Structure 1
Amino acid sequence: MRHGGKILIDQLEAQGVSTVFTVPGESFLAALDGLYDSPRIRTITGRHEGGVSMMADAWGKLTGMPGVAFVTRGPGAANAMSGLHVAQQDSTPMVLFVGLPASGHEDREAFQEIETKSLFSSFVKDAWVVRQTERIPEYVSRAFHRALSGRPGPVVLGLPEDMLARRCDVSDAKPANPAAPAFPEPQLARLEAALAKAQRPLMIVGGPGWGAQVQRHIETFAERFDMPVAAAFRYQDYIDNRHPCYVGHAGVAAEPALAGAIRDADLLLVVGARLGEITSGLYTLLAVPDPKQSLVHVHPSADELGFVYRADLPIVSNASSFAAALDRLRPFAHMPWRQWRRDLRGAYEASLVPTPMPGAVSLATVVRELSDLLPADAIIANGAGNYAAFLHRHFVYKSYRTQLAPTSGSMGYGLPAVISAKLAFPERLALAFAGDGCFMMTAQELATAVQYALPVIVIVANNATYGTIRMHQEQHFPGRVSATDLVNPDFAAFAKSFGAHGETVERTSDFATAFERAVASARPAVIELKLDVEAISPRRTLSQIRASALHRQAGP
């Protein structure tokens, strides 16, 4: 007979789990005991449940299989919610196990007690509590199926302490085998007809179920049809940005040419992306619920189609099946959008050139240098903040799964994500960009990187402010700075205190050698860039934003 913790870990092994992330808690000691005996599962101990849940999310993005994390009840569960929210908005498969008080104390507001289903169900795919030890295989199988099916996402399983401790005889479940919605062949003729009528088509790619083979199919289709392809918000690695048909990133403050193209297209072919708030330009580039553009929307979940925008041709299909079906379409003799594509590509290439900005360190130039220097398979992670706009604008992504970035706009994501990346792909260079405010949200995970000897690199863009909020303050309340200034540590010394490598860069020309030293150290490394707060965005300074707002408020 096995105790519940052993049964649980055996189920994870059966599901192919190789790594779990945790901040240990006394509520799931039996599960930790099960991990002690597991020859197949590596246990990574983090320093905060928020960081651990973000590591699990990044693992799900990188591998396509659910990232797994264990946290304790009450405050541990609350801390983990940040990573769950990332996984939900990013459609990432993930399973979070939450240790709970013993069943006999349920509903007494026992120590750190939470009501698991009602707490989590509002922003994850599903949440359940396993109350019978013999049902552990059933619930784990269900959790993995739900995490992977349709639109992938996070699932939460509550684990009462006494349930895990009990012993019983039960058979292990088989690995999850979720249904994959295949492309419906009758829709191919309708898609071809829509393309034949188009004058200004535009493809937007993003969402779940992508892969290197999908990327190749899409690039081949785009080349045959001379089709302009844009990336949805933070899905820039879905197509080689060097491809002549790639026309840019439909992200925050998208290039005017691309935003105009989305607005003026007569056909939008959206593959996998949800057309969320950022990609749709705050829901202004397409009319809700009936876009003036003809909309072909491909998504693996029928529930997503028509949720915000009514599609003229809704297609329930995973990205792999749809992309393969595109191979059967033959290009037309006349494709009137060729110049449209060339113009959009030209605007994208022009946007890569950094705009001169105040300060001795140019973040845009640093990003461009790294874009040219790094291997094509280097993994780049980031969290949220205005620094990310420089990365998204100036970095050229070259292959699939080289970008880890939360569409939820969660600060603190970069360091946990790059730790997960290095664990999943130790042979690949992995680095993160973070603002000073962003980095300090999860900076304690530097200890995790040191503990497991993971030579990740974090580039901290330090402008001593919560930059995005400061920018919005100047736009809406110019000159009235409130709660956004920051006093920061010496980030290089901070890194060294953990046993990591630390560098401080005060001139752009010094960055290359600092980066070389960081790589050569073969240790976790932090490179602090001393930035001028005036360089608040890739195109406009803080003073320009303030002056524009004051002029607007003054009126005609």
Structure 2
Amino acid sequence: MSEKTGGEAIVDSLIANNIDTVFGLPGAQLDPIFVALHDRQDQIRLMHTRHEQGCAYMAYGYAEASGRIGTTLVVPGPGLLNAAAAIVTGYACNTPMLCLVGQGRSHLIGRGFGILHEIPDQFATASGLVKWAGKIERPEDIPGQFAEAINQIRHHRPRPVYLELPFDYAKEKAEIPQALVAAADHVTPEIDADAISNAAAALAGAKCPLIVVGGGARMAGEAVRELAELLNAPVAMTQNALGTLDCRHELAFTQLGAHHWWSKADVVLALGTRLFPAAMAWGRDSEQRIIKVDIDAAETNRLPPPIDGIHGDVAEVAIALRSSLDKCMTKAAPDRSDEILQVRAAVEKELEIVAPQRELLQVIREELGEDGVLVSDLTQLYFAAQDVFPVHRPRTYIQPSYQGTLGHAAATCLGAQVAVGDRPVIGLAGDGGFMFTVQELATAVQYNIPVTFLVMNDGAFGNVKRILQEDYDGRVICADLQNPNFVKLAESFGMPGRRASSADDLRTALQESIAESGPTLVEYRAPEFPSPWPLHFRQKVRG
């Protein structure tokens, strides 16, 4: 135990737990922590943005691209609320994020005096956004509470956590114990051996097994692949799981493929996925058995019964199932190559409606390379990308999952680029969403983050406009946009800007941009793309 400020104790805990990058924005309640970070710049990289939303999205992108903990540091009240969109995006995507948030002086919290940045019950507000929330009630509690926050991230399902530090505890010196090191490994639940045996027997006897993988499976690719090849079972990936299996694998499908297989599948093995909308919209009947595997026990019985739930880590369960199948399968799985070809042909036929979007997305992947990262906002291309963007490895396609947070990409891609180093990153956004976090172009230039911003400019909130035109008798309102000259805007921030209006133009612009040593922007003059909605609203096929 030694005398130090709470800010110094926080920094000690960051270093002790191998967190070497923090995305933050300074303010009065955080000054003691920022001063402590100043004195440890040889051990921690601190990057500041132009808005708290940018801080938190950078932490989100950093964690999504790397799997490491993304840490954000923001002031209380408005700072927390500004960061909230990114925090709930991380919650939706099972992202390991540490949210460190300041507070007023300890004796004034919750008393309604109107202290700087005060909001009613900040702790309760934050608790509703994260997996776990903690607060420092004594300076000597900092090491223990910090370690518990890290343990909570690593216990079972990873999601954002929140830790709150009052200003006086951050500033004043006290006798504080040494920093504690949290558990180094991801903690997983014990697997029920009987449940594994029963599931293996069902899969071994299935006429048409289907494996559906979600975000909880994306780092279990090898185990999933071996299990799928043993069963000769198609693997349908949700958008959170793209890259779990290389999209070129003969058994790999997206959710469009899943819809085709759903009517045929007699046993569905759902690995780390909510299995929505399949189980809720595509129909169920007594001829289909669903086995749902999840590290979150609540997910194993969230769907209406009957569901066979297995609580466990996806990789560990997949390995256990493969071992059990080796014992109970008396012959090789049947050849399904003809059926796989038929389903793939049917999928390709449906995808013809998004051919223009597919052409551009193919160019993006080719110029990124197999290990480059695409961070996608809710653009016109996004709604096609879920089924046509080639993803070969996990963590190379980042999107906001069910949270649908428009405007995240311009900041998220910066965090992703910081995480992956020399690998190329493209932040894809529409002209509407891009302006949500456009100020972070300044951050990109300040830190020379070599990301490529790709702005699809159609002069509208394009998806909103289409819905109003098609579903509301053309009563379009608040969908058309007055935009800046994006190329000149980029140049005003100090980065090169380019413009493209065809696939060939885009290829050239991306090649030149990726070759730059710093950030760049490409504006694509987007036409009216064909509607992707038929790919998303799929009819009931069972029951």
Give TM-score, length-normalised by structure 1: 0.88
Query: 2:398 is matched with which residue: 397, 404, 407?
Result: 404
2:424 partner letter = L
Query: 1:284 is matched with which residue: 281, 298, 303?
Result: 281
With 472-481 and 383-392 compared, the bigger mean Cα shift is at: 383-392
The aligned counterpart of 1:46 is 49
Cα distance in structure 1, aligned partners of 2:138 and 2:116 = 21
Cα distance in structure 1, aligned partners of 2:379 and 2:287 = 33
- 1:430 to 1:130, Cα distance in 2 relative to 1, 3 A: same
With 369-378 and 423-432 compared, the bigger mean Cα shift is at: 369-378
With 228-237 and 302-311 compared, the bigger mean Cα shift is at: 302-311
The aligned counterpart of 2:244 is 238
The aligned counterpart of 2:339 is 340
Cα distance in structure 1, aligned partners of 2:115 and 2:278 = 45
- 1:183 to 1:349, Cα distance in 2 relative to 1, 3 A: farther
2:411 partner letter = P
The aligned counterpart of 1:152 is 158
Query: 1:390 is matched with which residue: 372, 380, 384?
Result: 384
1:141 partner letter = A
- 1:102 to 1:300, Cα distance in 2 relative to 1, 3 A: same
Query: 2:196 is matched with which residue: 163, 173, 188?
Result: 188
Query: 1:109 is matched with which residue: 109, 114, 124?
Result: 114
1:268 partner letter = V
1:208 aligns to what SS in structure 2? helix
- 1:89 to 1:292, Cα distance in 2 relative to 1, 3 A: farther
Q: Which has the higher contact order (CA 8 A, sep 6+)?
A: 2
Give the RMSD, CA atoms, in angstroms: 2.4
2:97 partner letter = M
The aligned counterpart of 2:140 is 134
User: By how many angstroms is 1:161 displaced?
Assistant: 0.5
Unpaired runs of at least 5, structure 1:
357-361, 546-556
Asked if the contact 2:354/2:531 (under 8 Å) is kept, the reply is: no
Cα distance in structure 2, aligned partners of 1:92 and 1:379 = 16
Query: 1:294 is matched with which residue: 262, 282, 289?
Result: 289
User: By how many angstroms is 1:540 displaced?
Assistant: 7.7
Asked if the contact 1:291/1:309 (under 8 Å) is kept, the reply is: no
Asked if the contact 2:209/2:231 (under 8 Å) is kept, the reply is: no
2:210 partner letter = L
2:490 aligns to what SS in structure 1? helix
Cα distance in structure 2, aligned partners of 1:389 and 1:412 = 15
- 1:263 to 1:53, Cα distance in 2 relative to 1, 3 A: farther
With 76-85 and 113-122 compared, the bigger mean Cα shift is at: 113-122
2:362 partner letter = R
1:20 aligns to what SS in structure 2? strand
Cα distance in structure 1, aligned partners of 2:190 and 2:448 = 42
1:419 has 2:414 as partner = yes
Unpaired runs of at least 5, structure 2:
538-543
User: By how many angstroms is 1:66 displaced?
Assistant: 2.5
Asked if the contact 1:300/1:317 (under 8 Å) is kept, the reply is: yes
Cα distance in structure 1, aligned partners of 2:311 and 2:268 = 16
Alignment of 1:324-335 (within 5 A): 324-328=319-323, 329-330=325-326, 332-335=331-334
Cα distance in structure 2, aligned partners of 1:82 and 1:89 = 11
Cα distance in structure 2, aligned partners of 1:508 and 1:326 = 45
User: By how many angstroms is 1:198 displaced?
Assistant: 1.9
Superposed CA deviations along residues 477-529 of structure 1, whole A, max 9, x for unmatched, are: 12110111111111111111111121111233322221222122222111111
With 306-315 and 138-147 compared, the bigger mean Cα shift is at: 306-315
- 1:334 to 1:273, Cα distance in 2 relative to 1, 3 A: closer
1:96 aligns to what SS in structure 2? strand
1:295 aligns to what SS in structure 2? strand
Identity of aligned residues (%): 28
1:296 partner letter = I
- 1:372 to 1:162, Cα distance in 2 relative to 1, 3 A: same
The aligned counterpart of 1:92 is 95
1:113 partner letter = E
User: By how many angstroms is 1:182 displaced?
Assistant: 4.3
2:476 partner letter = V
